[in-house]
Amino acid sequence: MTTAEELRTRTADLLAAHDPAATEPLEFLRARFDAGLAWVHFPPGLGGLGAPRALQAVVDAELAAAGAPDNDPRRIGIGLGMAAPTVLRFGTEEQKQRFLRPLWTGEEVWCQLFSEPGAGSDLAALATRAVHEAGDAEGGGDGPGGHWTVDGQKVWTSSAHLARWAILLARTDPDVPKHQGISYFVCDMTDPGVDVRPLRQLTGEAEFNEVFLTGVRIPDAHRLGAVGEGWKIAQTTLNNERVAIGGHRTPREGGLIGLLADVWREQPGARTHELHQRLLQGWTDAEVLRLTAERLRQQLAVGQPGPEGAAAKLAFARLAQQLTGLEVELLAEEGLGYGDWTMSRPELVDFTGRDAGYRYLRAKGNSIEGGSSEILRNIIAERVLGLPAESRSDKDVPWKESAR
């Protein structure tokens, strides 16, 4: 087993061969991946060493101390947190070799084509269709495995305007119940037929998108897992997504509670007993969430995330709205100001680098994105607490016959 000392030695070797001060950031990141120091728990040859996941912190600390560049996890969070673990678990060796390195270095941004306007929070009701055309030796269907033609519409797609690749769920068999007829693909966002349109939000920005897919041809070699097993594979993506949103690392009194505490200290005239009690409750909840996130990361160190990540994501959304609302109250008229309604297409959500008005408005989306709070409560009730499942009249009904 790889030890912490061995990782320090490998990291020192990387730094000696690629001085961060004299090496282009992208070149350094590529070298780090090839040295197995990108995500140490991944297999050798795929950016890792098969080491315990907990030892990643050793590498990160050594590289940070040396001033080495990082791969901007916030900009490529969907690739790192959702696409990568899914490709690693269900992808072919060829797919892993093709996708993981540029994903990790940030050369290729990923997005997630799951949500649809007609499916709402019931993701399994999706209607985007993928129809297979078999391949032949003469090049019919573009070759041996053939290709899939995809038509449909996706919505609430973060980073679609920046993405080269997307993880995509599409219905491949409408004659079976809705959870069984779905397959999982990797879609090239630069292909003809992919139309990305901005979706302007409450903040005035358009970080989300609608994505229209018209006759998009996806080679069968870009299918993840078996045909019809997309729903099972999607659970891996979604469990990782919830941990990525609700389980990110934050220092004590960091993030939104840190900003709120600063406002409290700077606004003595606004203090009341009732607001003080709310501040204390928010601080306590933030600390509980921070420790819960730490436990989730420890679970990740020994395996795949389970449905418990839903609780962290649910708590994160509620707490973000609670804290940003209190911040606006403390700032009074100043908190109601909003600097700029100009339409823009940001690359990431910047909660801590913007004003209180932005944080308050943007936090409203937290209870929808990455799984609505209502859906997450169902998951907690059924899969964590073991309560009776919600009645589903369409459970055994072929998708094409179900009410939509």
Placement of tokens 């999607």 in the chain: 234
What gap in Å lies between CA 113 and CA 224, rounded to an integer? 14
Out of 116, 241, 308, 327, pick the active-site residue.
241
Q: In whole angstroms, give the CA distance from residue 296 to residue 247.
A: 7
Given a contact cutoff of 8 angstroms between Cβ atoms, the answer to whether 177 and 396 are in contact is yes
Angle at alpha carbon of residue 276, lines to 364 and 326, rounded to 5°: 15
Cα 103 to its chain centre, rounded Å, is 13
Residue type at position 264: W
Write the DSSP string, 310-352: HHHHHHHHHHHHHHHHHHHHHHTHHHH----------SS--ST
Across the strands, what pairs with 218?
148
Spatial contact of 7 and 61, defined as CB atoms under 8 Å apart = no
Task: Please say if 5 is a catalytic residue.
Answer: no
> Do 57 and 49 meet the contact criterion of CB atoms below 8 Å apart?
no
Name the residue with tokens 């780090």.
32
Angle of CA points 389, 393, 396, to nearest 5°: 95
Site of tokens 């990643």: 56
Task: Tell me which H or E stretch contains 217.
Answer: strand 208-219
Q: Which of 229, 93, 237 is nearest to 166 (CA)?
A: 237
Tokens of 309: 């990540």
In DSSP terms, which residues pair with 4 in a beta bridge?
Answer: none
* Pair of tokens at residue 374: 């209502």
Asked if residues 187 and 166 have their Cβ atoms less than 8 Å apart, the reply is yes
Catalytic sites, residue numbers: 241
